[in-house]
Amino acid sequence: MLTMGTRTDAKGHSEIFLAALGTDGKVRWRTALSLGNVASSDTSGIVIDGQIAIAGAVDGIFAVDIDSGRIIWRVDVEGDAHRHACVSDGSRVFFTTAEGYAGAIDVRTGRMLWQRMLAPYGVWSPPTILGDRVAFEADGLMHIVLAQSGMTVQQQAVGQTPYSTLAIKDNRALLGGGDPPYFGLLFGFVLVESSTLPTLSCDTVQQVQTFRAYEDLNVAVRISGEKSAELASVTVDFSCLGETSKTRPEIVDGDTYIFRVTPGAGYQHGSYALPIMVNFRDSTTWYGTSYLKLESDERLPTRTLITDIGNFEQEQPYWSGAACIVAAKKLFGEEVDQASVMGMIEAIQAKADDYFPFDIWRIIARRAMTTSAHSVTGLPEFQGESSTAQQAPERYPSET
């Protein structure tokens, strides 16, 4: 059995290793691949091709002999490759990195075949082989590229897909995406030959837009293709931006459909997949998605020194997290009190109780930190509910 892991080396550094275990559970060999940048076993997995085991580490892809643990070849890549499993089609091994690169390496020789920037914010999903093509999910899109050259031949908006990859059965594929945890989407695809691809397509005219919370945002979607003249109606689901129902266009200009959306507080910058339903006059329906990237002009600075935060005290036991969030927000001129932050934290936790304990505080803290809401009633995911806001413990006073 082969396994990956991390351990502390003789100098106290985190080290990523590949090891073989016998049927008796004893270690047969252990091969250090690279220094790690985390203390835990934050490693991806192993792809086996004949007598070669291939795995990613920090800044490199390694091929190791299964019997001896000897490193056969190492290829330097752009970024950390230990967060995602590589895949192989028998002659090439495909990889992704946390710095946003994807590439292919010759399995036998270790020669880099191609490497390209796919998404500047990192690729957090392993690739999927689709015949002579490879699917990568990154930055709100599923990128279909040619396995031989890495050239993109198709893109599909799927929203955020951290650690997800295509699950394939015959000519069907499933993918989890959207904007989790509150607006996740499950996509179902039919895998067809390129010559039989549908002739209808939809694209957001202005794919990157700057916005402010509670201000109207015009989203124009262009529908094109052979059947576009036979359209009866077009509907876009904007629930990922806080809208409560599917939206019909306010203006139709030829093949362009213009929608007006008002993102609520808490909807920050990011990449979104907008589900689109097209009804034709012959009563048939076509489903697709369109890509939209939002950039808020109210973003906080990306870096600050912790020493810039002055002394502060938590007002109640177990309020240390709320105290830290309030102190950080005040550093950037945002006034909010610890009681209101605790109210948001408890309400968010009630919505996120299915997360593992390891993840839950990180997710809750990030949600409470990045929202522009000052109380539970301002969080978009609780608007319209007889909500946790009104059921919160009495020790949390309302804003009034």
Question: In the listed set 268, 296, 324, which residue is the last one of a domain according to the structure?
Answer: 296
Q: Per residue in 305-349, pLDDT tens? A: 666 777 788 888 878 888 888 988 888 788 899 999 999 888 887
If you average pLDDT over each of 131-145, 242-256, 260-274, 354-368, which comes out highest?
131-145
291 and 311 share a domain?
no
270 and 313 share a domain?
no
Q: Does any domain span residue 42?
A: yes
Structural domain including 326 reads 306-391
Q: Per residue in 194-227, pLDDT tens? A: 655 556 777 777 777 776 666 788 888 888 887 7
Q: Per residue in 87-136, pLDDT tens? A: 999 999 999 998 899 999 999 999 999 999 998 878 888 899 999 999 99
132 and 17 share a domain?
yes
pLDDT, mean of residues 271-293: 87
Q: Does any domain span residue 274?
A: yes
Q: Does any domain span residue 397?
A: no
Question: In the listed set 296, 320, 344, which residue is the last one of a domain according to the structure?
Answer: 296
Question: In the listed set 296, 327, 343, which residue is the last one of a domain according to the structure?
Answer: 296
Q: Does any domain span residue 174?
A: no
Long-range contacts of 215-219 (CB under 8 A, 24+ apart): 215/262, 215/263, 216/260, 216/261, 216/262, 217/241, 217/260, 217/261, 217/262, 217/263, 217/294, 218/258, 218/259, 218/260, 218/261, 219/258, 219/259, 219/260, 219/261, 219/274, 219/292
Residue 397 has a pLDDT of 34
10 and 116 share a domain?
yes
- Indicate yes or no: pTM above 0.75: no
Q: Does any domain span residue 178?
A: no
206 and 292 share a domain?
yes
Count of structural domains, the chain: 3
CATH of residue 264's domain is 2.60.40.10
